[in-house]
Amino acid sequence: METALDKSGPGGASRRDLALVAACTILFMAASVVFELSEKVSTWTQPWERYQLDELPGTLLFLAVALAWFSWRRAHEARAELARRVAAQQRLADALAENRRLSLSHVCVQEEERKELARELHDELGQHLNAIKINAVSIRDRASGRLPDAHAAALEIVQVADHIHGIIRGMLRRLRPVGLDELGLTAALEHVVQGWNARNPDVRARLQIDTDIDSMREQQNIAVYRLVQEALNNVGRHAQARTVAIHLAGAGRSGDGRKETDNVVVTIRDDGVGSPVGRQDGAAGLGLVGMRERIEALSGSLAVEAQAGQGFRIIATIPRAGVERGA
């Protein structure tokens, strides 16, 4: 429940206190007149005249004025210190906002470079490698039965070309999510989960999407995809889990007034060994630290919860609009 002080603010409280002091002063003066307090004090201090106690009221008055001056000085210094702290906090908030903008810009440049590199690998290197394989297949077929050495060399070239093709496909998947530009985030997440299940047959990853994620901007798409990708990599390397659950849903109303559908919450939970006793959230790994910076640059948040023997849980809240804080 709000108090009257909360409703009226500091200015109203100061005025009430000042009115209370004035009223008490008037009441005290009235009581002094009624009871002739000064005469009674003079009578009480008459036997102690040699100690000059009749000067005590003036001394107390001076002390009261000096204490009022002392309080005013301390209040002035407190206001100045508060103003300095507010200015420092504002500078810190501006620096954090600028850091988020720079981080987001860095992520955008990095993803653009990855996209260009993936395109070059696919269009240039892939085509030339395919031409080499076609020529090697032609030589293999023509030399079959007549030139055993040429046939063996051509077959080896075909095998090397297939091996390089596999390496390039893996690089393309790491550089740029498969199908993200053409099919959307849902298809890209399904593809990465299916591929991870194929590479880790002893662990089962399940993907559940309960909100529209294909209408988000590219920055949010990349952030969600990289988060799921990094979390699955961590599970495969460290968790010793049997199952991984990935859930994407719309968020509830946030503190800054965004509507229910303005946020996407990504929850990733595994049933692995969890975190050793005493290990803190900040020790979750450099990959998740990078993901935290990426998500916070989009005005989102990332939380990692871990307990020994109970697995990891990652909860990321990402605004669809991605408006930077402090901008």
For the chain, the domains span: 4-97, 185-327
**Could you tell me the pTM of the whole model?**
0.56
The answer to whether the beta carbons of residues 268 and 313 sit under 8 Å apart is: yes
Closest CA to 287 of 267, 314, 256, 251: 314
Q: Torsions phi, psi of 11, nearest 5?
A: -65, -45
Q: What is the pLDDT along the chain (327 residues), one digit of tens a residue?
A: 444 444 555 567 778 877 887 888 888 888 878 877 777 777 776 776 666 666 667 777 888 888 888 988 999 999 999 999 999 999 998 988 888 788 777 777 877 787 778 777 777 777 888 888 888 888 888 877 778 888 888 888 888 888 888 888 777 777 777 667 677 888 888 988 988 888 888 888 999 998 888 888 888 888 898 899 888 888 888 778 888 999 999 865 444 444 545 889 999 998 887 765 334 444 445 567 778 888 888 888 898 887 776 788 899 998 887 544 433
Q: How far apart are CA 239 and CA 205, in angstroms?
A: 13
CATH of domain 185-327: 3.30.565.10
Instruction: Kindly provide the residue ranges of all beta strands, DSSP E only, lying in 48-171, ordered along the sequence.
Output: none
